[in-house]
Structure formats: structure tokens, C-alpha cells
């Protein structure tokens, strides 16, 4: 029997039209366009209107795939939504997305691994496909970060944005698709990046909300330190493990949190800037959506057989790198 890999066979995305640029942020918190640009590489981000949940962006991203591929949604086996901003804590956003797109034969659930959500989701979805149990899985990275960001906190509001992107995963028998992964987590991270309230440990109350504990908190300097070393190390490890030289790597598709973290990773890998794909300037950090948004924006660049390294670091902490061989020409 031929070995089965899980490969991405289509991509789709959705970004809300409303733009929040650095100049506007200058009027909201003590910051400057120059500081944000030089420290993060971000110029603007997208913001979804109030009262609309993450699922709307996820549904639009998937609909692009369905239109492109003419796939009958009834053939979809499974829908995974990687997100830290589900529509509601209960029930699963993925179940709603599956129903709305007409995937009536699918089951769906949400996966929470913050900025590494897409990498972890790729691991889960690929395992189902490699096992032979399921053939068509929609993996969506979607986050409405504006729903958990405090727009008076310059440590977070300058970085994050809203967006969604989806991939269709299917079996590949030519040796293309996901080849290897190196995934890690370390619970020390919740000291530095968290939403303290709203969970089982500290349910919401008026007092808690007055203290703004329902918003995202980030100790940026410490997160940065861990992110730089771990994302670079994971990317380097996966190259070593698969005997990939810097010449062999065609593209790095990194999580878009801070251009300086991406640059450090590329440097550790010894790859040239032209191989490093970025759209952080336009969307900021969309958490689980950053990596599939790169696939969507740069899809035309990819050629069948390209060696691509994915890398992420985020809350938890969670982090890792994956190696995949692209499976189609578009």
C-alpha cells in the first residue's frame, strides 16, 4: 500500500474591510507610527465590526474554497476551527460553520492553541487523513482579536488584528503534503500571555470587568524573548531532522507576530529574505489565521514540490515548526 500524506489542496481567506492604521492608533494610545513600524513591522490591521462573531469570517474563507474547487460540502468529513476567539465559549464555532456551509455529513470542533493553533490543527487533521479514516478536512484559522483587546493598552492593541483563512486537506499518494512536525508547549507561558478572567478559575463579574481582567494581557518583552529563541530553534531543528540545507528550503511561512521574530528565525535557518513570506505590514497578528493567510496571499508563488517550513509561537506557550511539500500549481 502506498504511503498517505495529508496535503493542502485549496486555500481561501476573508479579511474584514475596516482598516485600523498606525496613524489612527496614535490618537488612541501613546504611540507613534514610527515606533510600531520599526519595532513590529506592522502598518495596519483589519477590524471586524462589533456584534459579528469569528464564525462569519471562517464561513467566508471556506466559501471561497467551495467556489474555487466546486466541492460539494456534503463530502466534507470534518471541520476544525483553530481560534482563541470562538463566537461563544459554548457551543463550538466549528459546528456552526459546518452547518452554515452545508457540511451536513461532517463533525466539527474548535482547537485552542493561540498563535500555534493552525500548526497544531494541521497535526490533528493530518493524523486523521494519514490513518485513512477521513479524506476531506477543512482546517480554518480564525480570530477576532479586536473582541479581546483593550484599545487603551499599547502593549497589545498595536499588534493584533482580525482575519480568517482556511485550507482543504486531502490524502496525497505522491509523497507531497505534510512531511514532519516539531511541536512543543510550556505552561510557563500563562504568566506572560493570558486572559485571566472568563474561564473556570475566575468567572466574570462586574468587579473583574472593571479591573479589565477579561482583556488580553501580554508581557511583551518576555514573550518576545521566548518567541525568538523557540521559533528559531524549532525551525532549525526541523531542517536538521529532514536533512534540509538552506538551499533546499523554498519558503518560510512564519506566524506573523513581529517582524523581528521572523527575521531572527530566518537568520537561524540561514535563508535569504526572498524566501521569507510576510504580510504582517497589512494585517498585524491575526493569531490562528496568520499562517493560512500567508498561503492565501502567496498561493500563486508556490509550485508543486516546493519545500515549505511553517513556524509559530504563541500563548500557552505553544510553538513549533512543520515541514510540508506543496502539492499543486495554481
What residues line the site for ligand UT7 (CB under 6 A)?
Answer: 31, 35, 39-40, 115, 154-155, 158-159, 220-221, 223-224, 227, 257-258, 261, 285, 314
d(CA 15, CA 36): 21
Please report where in the chains the cell 479581546 appears, as a residue. Answer: 148
- Bridge partners (DSSP) listed for residue 185: 318
Q: By beta-carbon distance, which residue lies closest to ligand UT7? A: 220
Answer yes or no: 155 catalytic: no
**Please, which residue, 112 or 179, has the CB nearer to ligand UT7?**
112
Answer yes or no: 157 catalytic: no
Name the minimum Å distance from CB 225 to ligand UT7.
8
Number of H helices, E strands in the chain: 10, 13
Query: Does residue 316 have a cis bond before it (omega within 30 degrees)?
Result: no
Alpha helix positions (H), the chain: 22-26, 33-40, 54-69, 93-100, 117-130, 206-210, 220-241, 259-269, 280-283, 290-298
**Please, which residue, 7 or 235, has the CB nearer to ligand UT7?**
235
Which residue out of 172, 255, 282, 307 is catalytically annotated? Answer: 255
Instruction: Output b/e per residue, 126-148; b: 16+ Cβ within 10 A.
Output: bebbeeeebbbbbbbbbbbbbbb
Name the minimum Å distance from CB 87 to ligand UT7.
21
**Please, which residue, 108 or 161, has the CB nearer to ligand UT7?**
161
Name the minimum Å distance from CB 209 to ligand UT7.
24
Name the minimum Å distance from CB 140 to ligand UT7.
18
Which contiguous run of DSSP H or E holds residue 82?
Answer: strand 78-82
User: What is the number of other CB atoms lying within 10 angstroms of the CB of residue 168?
Assistant: 22
Answer yes or no: 22 catalytic: no
**Please, which residue, 47 or 261, has the CB nearer to ligand UT7?**
261
Name the minimum Å distance from CB 67 to ligand UT7.
31
**Please, which residue, 186 or 248, has the CB nearer to ligand UT7?**
186
Which contiguous run of DSSP H or E holds residue 10?
Answer: strand 5-14
Which residue out of 115, 157, 230, 258 is catalytically annotated? Answer: 115
Residues labelled catalytic: 115, 255, 285
Amino acid at each position: 500500500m502506498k504511503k498517505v500524506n495529508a496535503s493542502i489542496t485549496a486555500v481561501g481567506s476573508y479579511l474584514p474591510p475596516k482598516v485600523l492604521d498606525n496613524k489612527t492608533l496614535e490618537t488612541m494610545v501613546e504611540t507613534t507610527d514610527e515606533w510600531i513600524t520599526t519595532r513590529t513591522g506592522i502598518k495596519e490591521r483589519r477590524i471586524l465590526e462589533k456584534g459579528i462573531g469569528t464564525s462569519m469570517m471562517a464561513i467566508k474563507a471556506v466559501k471561497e474554497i467551495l467556489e474555487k474547487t466546486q466541492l460539494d460540502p456534503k463530502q466534507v468529513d470534518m471541520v476544525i476551527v483553530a481560534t482563541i476567539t470562538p463566537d461563544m465559549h459554548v457551543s463550538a464555532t466549528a459546528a456552526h460553520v459546518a452547518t452554515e456551509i452545508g457540511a451536513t455529513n461532517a463533525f466539527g470542533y474548535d482547537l485552542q492553541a493561540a498563535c500555534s493553533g493552525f500548526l497544531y490543527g494541521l497535526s490533528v487533521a493530518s493524523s486523521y487523513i494519514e490513518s485513512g479514516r477521513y479524506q476531506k478536512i477543512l482546517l480554518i484559522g480564525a480570530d477576532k482579536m479586536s473582541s479581546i483587546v483593550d484599545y487603551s493598552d499599547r502593549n497589545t492593541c498595536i499588534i493584533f488584528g482580525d482575519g480568517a483563512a482556511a485550507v482543504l486537506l486531502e490524502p496525497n499518494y505522491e509523497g507531497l503534503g505534510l512531511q514532519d512536525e516539531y511541536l512543543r508547549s510550556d505552561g510557563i507561558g500563562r504568566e506572560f500571555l493570558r486572559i485571566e478572567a472568563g474561564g473556570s478559575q475566575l468567572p466574570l463579574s462586574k468587579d473583574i470587568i472593571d479591573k479589565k481582567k477579561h482583556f488580553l494581557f501580554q508581557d511583551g518583552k518576555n514573550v518576545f524573548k521566548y518567541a525568538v529563541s523557540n521559533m528559531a530553534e524549532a525551525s532549525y531543528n526541523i531542517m536538521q531532522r529532514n536533512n534540509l540545507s538552506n538551499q533546499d528550503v523554498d519558503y518560510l511561512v512564519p506566524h506573523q507576530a513581529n517582524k523581528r521574530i521572523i527575521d531572527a528565525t530566518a537568520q537561524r535557518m540561514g535563508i535569504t529574505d526572498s524566501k521569507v513570506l510576510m504580510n504582517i505590514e497589512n494585517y498585524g497578528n491575526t493569531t490562528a489565521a496568520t499562517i493560512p493567510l500567508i498561503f492565501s496571499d502567496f498561493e500563486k508563488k508556490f509550485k508543486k514540490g516546493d519545500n515549505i517550513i511553517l513556524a509559530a509561537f504563541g500563548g500557552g506557550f505553544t510553538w513549533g515548526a512543520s515541514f510540508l511539500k506543496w502539492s499543486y500549481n495554481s
